[in-house]
């Protein structure tokens, strides 16, 4: 944890990747608390910037994400969490939040 | 572009993924200018927060990233760019910036 650099708001962007398909599922923010809960529980926890509260992914939908591995980047300012998801990552029902392609 | 939400600093976090291996290579920040240059050139451009300048990935190292596809998430506040990299994404020489695993 001491290798990580949280931003001025105490947050670190976190990429969630499906451990099997390797699809990028979502990007969310963690603080030290949510990272600790993620490590301890083996399921993803985030910090909701809009609701200003800890958020256990799948708590209402059931679509939890089981943690396979947590990685961090060369600068220590981004996390990559490989997961086995119990269902779609996106609230729209899509497996990934990145279901749209940008038109040129 | 009008579907995208840049933050208070005019930036949007961008995940770079290898289009072939599907490895997550790096996360960097784009502003509207760097996104425009990325679209026009077909190679990744970012905004360097430390240097406060546009940054053409690979300009000095030669390790440019050819854009295959640009996707955006359900909130419109994160980009995912699939690329064919000419070399390692990381300044350490590792193919991905996420070469370290967080110890529990």
First and final C-alpha spacing in chain B: 40
User: How many residues are listed for chain A in this entry?
Assistant: 104
- pTM here is 0.97
Mutate to test the interface with B, among A50, A51, A71, A82 (most CBs of B within 10 A): A71
Contact A91 B104 (CB under 8 A): no
CA distances from A83 to A66, A69, B41, B101 (A): 5, 7, 34, 14
CB of B95 within 8 A of CB of B88?
Answer: yes
How far apart are alpha carbons B20 and B10 in whole angstroms? 30
For the cut 60, the answer to whether the pLDDT of residue A15 exceeds it is yes
Ramachandran region of residue A12, left (φ > 0), alpha (ψ -120 to 50) or beta? beta
Quick one: pLDDT at residue B1?
80
Mutate to test the interface with A, among B73, B81, B100, B101 (most CBs of A within 10 A): B73
Model ipTM value: 0.96
Contact A102 B72 (CB under 8 A): yes
Mean of the per-residue pLDDT values of chain B? 96
Q: pLDDT band at residue A1, thresholds of 50, 70 and 90?
A: confident
Task: Give tens-digit pLDDT for A68-85.
Answer: 999 999 999 999 999 999
Which residues have a Cβ under 8 Å from the Cβ of A30 and sit 6 or more positions away? A11, A12, A14, A38, A45, A46, A47, A79
Which residues have a Cβ under 8 Å from the Cβ of A103 and sit 6 or more positions away? none
CB of A23 within 8 A of CB of A16?
Answer: no
Q: Quick one: what percent of chain A has pLDDT higher than 90?
A: 95
Quick one: pLDDT at residue B17?
98
Quick one: pLDDT at residue B104?
57
């Amino acid at each position: 944890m001491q290798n990580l650099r949280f931003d001025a708001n105490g947050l670190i962007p976190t990429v969630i990747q499906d451990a099997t398909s390797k699809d990028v599922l979502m990007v969310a923010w963690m603080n030290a608390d949510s990272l600790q809960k993620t490590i301890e529980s083996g399921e993803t926890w985030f910090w909701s910037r809009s609701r200003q509260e800890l958020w256990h992914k799948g708590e209402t939908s059931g679509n939890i994400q089981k943690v396979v591995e947590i990685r961090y980047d060369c600068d220590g300012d981004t996390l990559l969490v490989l997961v086995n998801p119990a269902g779609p990552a996106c609230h729209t029902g899509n497996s990934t939040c990145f279901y749209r392609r940008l038109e040129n």
